[in-house]
Structure formats: C-alpha cells, structure tokens
Amino acid sequence: MFMIESLHPVLLLLLAAASTVWLRGWSRTAVTLLLASYALILVWQMPGGRSFEFVLGESWLALLALDYLARLFAILFTLLAVLTVLYGGGRSTYAEAGYGLTHAAAAVAVVLAGDWLTLIFAWLMLILTASLLVSVQPGRHAYAAARRLLFLHGIASVFLLIGVVGQVYTSGSVDLAVLVSDGDIGNWPGYFMLLAVLTAIAAPPLSAWFTDCCQELSASSLVWFSAFTGKAGVYLLLRFFPGFEWLLVVGLLMLVYGAVFALLSRNIARLLGYGFISSTGIIVMAVGLGNDAGLSGAAGFAFVHGLIFALMFMSAGVVMEYTRNSQLSGLGGLFQHMPLTTAYTLIAALSLLAMPLTAGYISQLLIIEAAFEPGSVWPGIVFLLAVATAVVHAGFYYPWRVFFGPARLPADDIAEAAFNQRVAMFVLAALCIVVGMAPCRLYQSLPYAVSCEPYTPGFVLTQLQLLFAAVLAAAWLLSYWQVPSADPVDFDRVYRHWWPRQWPVIRVRLVRGLKICGDICCRLLQQLARLWRHCLQRGRDLLRNYRSRK
Amino acid sequence: MEPRHWLYQARTRRYLFRLAGLILLGLLLSPLFVAMPQRLGEVESAGIYLLLGLLAPMLIILIARLLYSRLIPPPHVHD
C-alpha cells in the first residue's frame, strides 16, 4: 500500500521513457514493459480522491485526482502503453519508444490532473510529444506534417491557455469544474477551451492534422500517435462539456465527414484515421445527449473504441511493414499469408459494428438506449444509422479490401506478424471479446450507474438485423467502388496549398500597405514638425513684439 | 463537350436505382424480421433496424460518389 500511494503512474511512464535512451533491443522492451505494467497496476488499485497535492500561492494543486472517469481513461492509456511497447518490441527506434512513452505519460497526466495548471502543463507536453513522434520519422514529408501539427495545435493550445486563465480569473479557483449548465456553455473561457478540445478530437474543419500525420508514421508510432491525443480530447469533452447540445451537430458532422473521406482514401493509415474520426463522432454525439446513460455510454464506448482502434492500427502497421505497401489498390487477399492478423482484425471490425458478444455491442447499446430515452425516436434513429455507418470504413471496407479479394502482391514477400506483435494483437482481441461477454465489469467502472441488460433476445436480434443489412448493402455497393488514384482534398488544403500560394501576393500587398502607412506617418510627422516650427516662430514673434511694446 | 450535370450522369442514375432496389428489398424482407422478435415479446417493430442498416452505408457511399470528382485531384496534380 505504501508503494501504491507514494508513486505517481506518470513518473513510472517517464522513467520508462528515460530508460529508452540507455537500453537497446529486448532489454529495453523488457524494462519499459515492466515499468508500464506497474503503472497499469498502480492506476487499477489506487484509492480514489486527490493526492500529490502542494501549495502554490494561495491555491492547492493536485497532480493526481482519481474518480471513475479518470480511472477508466487512465487504465485505457496505461494498458495501451503496455501493449504498444510489446507491439513495437525491438523494431521501434529508441526515439519512437521514448517519445511514445512520454506521449502516453502526458495523456495519463491529463486525465489525472486535479487542477487547471497541471492540466495545461500536461496538455502542452502531450502536443509537443505528438509532434516529436511524427518528426522523428524518416523523410521530409513527416517533418512537414509534424510542423503543421505543431502549428495547428500550437494555436489551439494558446486558446486553451486563454480559456484556462479566463476560467481561473472568473471563478477565482484553480479547481476543475464543469463548464456547461443547462445545455450551454456558461462563460466565455469555455468556448476557448472547446476550440482546443475540438482540435484534439479532430472535428472538421480542424481535422486534417490527424490523417496527415497518420500516413507518415511507422507501425508502432502509428499506434502511439492514434491512441492518446484524440482520446485525451474525448476525456476533456466528457469532463468539462457534458450535455453541450451543439456537440450533437459536431458529432454528426464528424461521423459523415470521416465516413465519406475514409471511402475516398487510398492509403490504409489514412482510411483508418478517417474511420477513427467517424466513430469518435458517435462518442461526441453521446456526450451531447447529456443524460446519465448517454455519458456512461460515451465513456464506455470511448474505452472500447480505444481498444478497437489500437488493434486496427496494429493490424495496419503489420500490413504496411510486411508488404511494404500502404496503398489500397495494391493490397488484397492477405488472409492467406496473415491468418492470425486477419482474425484479430475481424474481431476488431465486428466489435466496431456492435456485434453481440463483443465489447462494441455492450457499449454502443448503452448509447442507443440513452438516445431513445427522452421520448423522441429521432436521436435513436440517428445513432442506429451511426453504428451501421462503420461498415464503410474499419467495420467492413478495410478488412474486406485488404485481407480478402484477389491477391495483388507476390506471395514470397509476405509473412505473418512477428511473435510480439501477435501477442499484443491477441490481448486486444481477447479483451474485445471478454469485455463483450462479461459486461458487468465495464458497467461498474462507468461514471454513472447503468441499468442495462444487453443480452435480451430483442436487443440481440435487432442488432443482428442492423449488422446484417449494413454488411449486405456495403458488400454490394462497395464491389463497384473504385479506389481513388490520389488522396482527397481535405481542409488542410487551406494551409498546405492555398496559403503558400497566396502568401507571396499577400506579402507584396502587406509590404505595400506598410510602405503607404509609413509614408503617411512620415508626412504627418513632417507636417507636425512644420506646424511646431511655425508655432515656435509665431510665439517668438509675439514675445518679441510684446517686449518691444513694453 | 460540356460535361453533363451530375444528376443526369449514368453513374448517379445507377446508384439511385440501387438505392431504390435495396429499399424495396428491405421492405420486402422486413416482415420476416418483425415476426421473430414479436413472437419473443421484446420488440414491437423491428423491421426498421433492417431498413436503417441498409440505408446508412448507402447514403455514405452515395455522398462519397457525388463528391468523388470534386475531392479527388486529377493524377497530374502532386503535393
């Protein structure tokens, strides 16, 4: 107990990150795995409440504040850190492992923060490590993507900082507080913070950074990058903006945007990135519902979504690593060469489609039930459509296109994933099934009490109908779908193409404008000097006349 | 030659026909799916789930098809 209460999980993850500087190969994996696993046990067993408190001025800062919501996300982040270390093994470079673990530590620090100052510090660390993780990838495109990420999130972080300072100033306290009352944000700092959070969860039009970076990353970095930033944003939404009604619109926009752009992608990392955004839209809409069941469903599905997409990105990493190909048009029929990876991907896909006996089913059912709760059927129908939408990205299109269909690569070049990668994927796939078969443990960990019995014949049958119909329609229509020859034009067009092209013109106009302003100022000063000289001369004349008259 | 408006293009028509066909198929099949849950006494009208399941991917694919030529740059344009 002494050990548990006197150690901060973030410290252990930072120690693991520091150890990557000195250790190499499997010794590095073993030590980092041990430290990350210990952080997971700490988070699991730690008593709730505030700890690691100290005084700053007149305020008490808390580096660790644990409640149901924080514990759920902290368990998810430390679990994903453990499995990503295992997945990367000796293959990932020390920079990838080090920055990845620091990124995980920052995400855990965000969810465990007990005050605004700790939160903003952890958030800045999260953004910085995300951009470092991208920038250490080889190639100038990765460096450029990291620079764009830092630019966009830098602006968002400034907004977050303004919001936090405003919140502390208006409330007079550094303690965290819910910013929504009666379905609306009560004060102006809340809007600034919301902007930063929407950037983190990749809500359009602030979304392109996510897929832009995804396609530049290696196998293990892809998992590190995708697992934490977006989920930390979802945590902040659940913590500070529960029941904000506009989130229903934002979530719906994310859902449609992600699904459409996933179909228009030719790169598998991009496809899964857009799929990630699309299914995050369901969580955002559930947060917007604002009732207890919706918020519990959102938290539960955020946890499960983390597991599912970690598994999906691991599978995409294996495909890219062993086929040396990331284009959809060049992939197909991989189930013959990668049977285990195919099986794990299918489990993740079925879980995303809310197939009964999987984790996705028990968590998405909570959201659907919450949507039907207020009396109107329309929110419920929208959520049912949202669940079925997953077939056009990670739920059906990705596994069907990559692992099935005609083989397009020579068989000799392709091998099954390495042992450590298979173990990491197996654990995630097993969790998807175990959590789905025994939902009580997840339901007990949710922030609000849940009274849902998922395995009734009605629920199971209707969900199977939805799933069957969606897969049928997707299989029919997507068989005619042509994979695009280029990546789609996204919102990043503004700062990647429009702005660099317009900048020379804007610069010339700006210089010309400044020159005109300078000229006007010079002339004004000259006139003022002339007036001054005239007044001085006139004063002297008057004084002289006065004296001569006297 | 002036390209035809997307609404009158053959591929749009083809997708609209498929959409209509699938909705019809859903309507035809829904009684089968309604009957079973009703017998189990759990759900009153379950055919709607089948229709929603058919509709969701069709709508997304239709939107993607309509935006295809606008969002995918021609092959000679590189980043």
pLDDT tens digits for B37-47? Answer: 554 444 445 56
**Least trusted range by pLDDT, from A112-121, A298-307, B38-47:** B38-47
pLDDT given for residue A3 in this prediction = 53
The confidence band for A499, taking pLDDT boundaries of 50, 70 and 90, is confident
State the pTM of this model: 0.86
pLDDT band at A71 (very low <50, low <70, confident <90, very high): very high
> Chain B within 8 Å of A377 (Cβ-Cβ)?
no
For residue range A156-185, what is the model confidence (pLDDT) as tens digits?
Answer: 999 999 999 999 988 888 888 888 887 788
Q: List, as one string, the DSSP characters of A229-261.
A: HHHHHHHHHHHH-TT-THHHHHHHHHHHHHHHH
Q: Does A467 touch chain B (CB under 8 A)?
A: yes
Asked if B52 has any chain A CB less than 8 Å from its own CB, the reply is yes
Is B75's pLDDT higher than 70? no
Strands (E), A368-429: none
pLDDT tens for each residue of A258-282: 999 999 999 999 999 999 999 999 9
The CA distance from A409 to A257, in Å, is 31
Residue of B nearest to A478 (CA): B61
pLDDT of residue A2: 47
Q: How far apart are CA A209 and CA A206, in angstroms?
A: 7
Q: Phi-psi region for residue A405, left (φ > 0), alpha (ψ -120 to 50) or beta?
A: left
Residue A21 confidence class, pLDDT cut points 50, 70, 90: confident
Q: Residue B69: its pLDDT value, please? A: 84
Which of A392, A458, A468 is closest, CB to CB, to B57?
A392
Mutate to test the interface with B, among A462, A481, A489 (most CBs of B within 10 A): A462
Task: Quote the pLDDT of residue B44.
Answer: 47
For A406-429, write each residue's pLDDT tens digit.
888 877 778 888 999 999 999 999
A365 CB within 8 Å of a chain B CB: no
Biggest alpha carbon–alpha carbon distance for chain B = 61
Task: Specify burial of residue A340 (Cβ count, 10 A radius: 0-12, 13-18, 19+).
Answer: middle
Average pLDDT of chain A is: 90
Q: Is the pLDDT of residue B71 over 90?
A: no
Judged by a CB distance cut-off of 8 A, whether residue A33 touches chain B is no
Which pLDDT band, with edges at 50, 70 and 90, does A119 fall under?
very high
User: CB neighbours (10 Å) of residue A445?
Assistant: 17
Question: Is residue A525 scored above 90 in pLDDT?
Answer: yes
Distances (CA, A) of A169 to A162, A173, A191: 10, 8, 15
Highest mean pLDDT range out of A21-30, A162-171, A409-418, B64-73? Answer: A162-171
What's the one-letter identity of residue A404?
F
Q: What is the mean pLDDT of residues A61-87?
A: 92
Q: Nearest CA of chain B to the CA of A349: how many Å?
A: 15
Tell me whether residues B61 and A481 touch, CB distance under 8 A.
yes
The confidence score (pLDDT) of residue A1 equals 44
Q: Residue B12's pLDDT is what?
A: 78
Determine if residue A175 is left, alpha or beta; phi over 0 gives left, psi from -120 to 50 gives alpha, anything else beta.
beta
Q: How far, in Å, CA of A198 to CA of A121, rounded?
A: 18
